[in-house]
Amino acid sequence: MEYKYILASGSPRRKELLGSLGIDFEIIPATGEEILTSSVPSEVVESLSEQKAKEIFHKVLRDNKGAIVVIGSDTVVSYREKILGKPKDRADARKMIRMLQGGSHKVYTGVTICVKTPLGAEKTITFHECTSVKCFEMSEEEIEKYLDTDEPYDKAGAYGIQGIFGRFIEGIRGDYNNVVGLPVARLYQELKKEKLV
């Protein structure tokens, strides 16, 4: 079955993770305004991933006669049920890192798969994964040094587990790739279940 796969994200980390599934895909980042209707982390990531996937699905649908699979994803860091998005500036990043150091938090990633089958039927599958992350305590000097790097400013919760911040991660419970930005194992299982791979 010949599907055209599209990732509705410009994230280099998601591109790399989706590439590990061994499928050819195109990248068309979603650009629409994100509309939040909840403050519950799992609901937020599911809703945002669906908005992204559907935006690109409907764009592509207009010009494409074949079977398509669009994958949208969104990740948030949650500390005591408070959602931490990307920091606005250094002060915001500092506040987030101070919260996270020395304790545990959760990372939620929502994934939406929009499908048009070879027979023209349309289907949407949405799910989320949650991973618990525990951080070592950090000194003020370590925090400031970290804030001097580029790493905190384009990531939810002001850190990337696969980057410099990795040295402060004491442990995780759940899927590591979920924290990076795409739970590829779960995604693969969902695609397999729907006979999309």
- Which are the catalytic amino acids? 74
Residue bearing tokens 């509309």 = 35
Which residues make Cβ contacts (< 8 Å) with residue 86, sequence separation at least 6?
Answer: 153, 154, 155, 156, 158
Structure tokens at 109: 């990633």
The amino acid sitting at 70 is: V
Residues 184, 20 contacting (CB under 8 angstroms): yes
| Dihedral-angle region of residue 47 (phi above 0 means left; psi in -120 to 50 means alpha; beta otherwise) | alpha
CA atoms within 13 A on the CB side of 125: 17
Q: What does DSSP assign to residue 125?
A: E
Q: Tally Cβ neighbours within 10 Å of residue 15.
A: 15
Report yes or no: 76 and 85 within 8 Å, Cβ to Cβ.
yes
Cα gap 170→137, rounded to integer Å:
9
